[in-house]
Amino acid sequence: MSRVAVSVAGVIEPALQAAEMRRSAARPTTELGAYDFYLRAITAFFPSTKERVIEAVELLDRAIAIDPHYGPALSLAAVCHLRLLDDGWAKDPATTRRKAGDLARQALQASDNDPGVLVNAALVLARLGEDIGAMIGLVDRALALNPSFARGWYLSGNLRIFAGQPELAIEHVETALRLSPRERLGVPLWAMGIAYFFKRQFDQAVAKLLLAIQDYPSHPPSYRALAACYAHMGRLDDARAIIARLRAITPLVLPSASELPFRNPNDRELWLSGLRLAAGETE
């Protein structure tokens, strides 16, 4: 497929999905099937807040009750549970963690040739500590199936961050933004910001993270990354102001080292030391 064709496909596919979601939203709930509940869950999930993620989980539970082997609903439910866990919104973190992993594995069993299922499941399982090389392999397979899949490129960037490959992460996120420039920018810009953070290019990281927060003000990881950046730059007043904003969104300011997805020990220490300094905490 030519680069032009890939770019066109990257624009058309999100537009078609948006039209499908509008159609589903117009239908009464008494007429909805699994696919309709799934579409409504996508609408509820983006952009994410605690309330919207919980709403998406409820819609996906209804989709899965209708079709227990519906891979897209299973994989999105796994992502939703991961968000509740990562953002400090889970009532029972251990149960939420287990649900996220179980749903991701069920999704792979149900739809192992669906690019969306592959990348969502890979993200969740990589975040939960599965072999990062194997999870990158799932994303690579998804992109071989659909080279114009913008979310696939974005999540590939995420996994490259986990793997300690920030240069490749930036390249893949830039590809995602080029394929789908009208998508919300906040989360891709967060990914680029953290990649620059791990490259120790703090000025560039701050620029991306400020834009990410502007576009997506309810995304806790952006605040954590920005606070850590400011701390390492010696801008402690700015770092503490960002921590105060973070606390208004979630009680989870400083994840434990064992909960972090970063495989590179130096990356983990850079992240944690910056956050500890910003939050005024010691080991």
Q: What angle do CA 258, 76, 86 make, to 5 degrees?
A: 25
- Say whether pLDDT at 38 is over 60: yes
Per-residue pLDDT, 180: 84
Same CATH topology for 1-180 and 184-283: the answer is yes
78 with 117: CB under 8 angstroms?
Answer: no
Assess if CATH 1.25.40.10 describes domain 184-283: yes
pTM, full prediction: 0.87
Structure-token pair, residue 273? 């030391």
- Say whether pLDDT at 18 is over 80: no
pLDDT tens, 105-128? 999 999 989 999 999 999 999 999
Distance CA 188, CA 175 (A): 10
164 with 263: CB under 8 angstroms?
Answer: yes
7 with 148: CB under 8 angstroms?
Answer: yes
Give the fold, CATH level 3, of 1-180.
1.25.40
pLDDT tens, 230-262? 999 999 999 999 999 999 999 999 988 888 999
Taking the domains of the chain in order of start, what are their residue ranges?
1-180, 184-283
pLDDT tens, 131-144? 999 999 999 999 99
At residue 46 the predicted structure's pLDDT band, cuts being 50, 70 and 90, is confident
Distance CA 194, CA 200 (A): 10
Structure-token pair, residue 150? 């913008």
Mean of the per-residue pLDDT values for the chain?
88
pLDDT tens, 166-224? 999 999 999 999 998 766 556 889 999 999 999 999 999 999 999 999 988 989 999 99
End-to-end CA distance of the chain: 52
Helix extents (H) in the chain: 3-25, 34-45, 50-66, 71-86, 93-110, 115-127, 132-145, 150-162, 166-179, 186-198, 202-215, 220-232, 236-247, 265-279
Integer CA distances (angstroms), 153 to 5, 21, 179, 186, 224, in order: 16, 23, 9, 15, 23
Per-residue pLDDT, 187: 82
- Say whether pLDDT at 279 is over 60: yes
Per-residue pLDDT, 47: 73
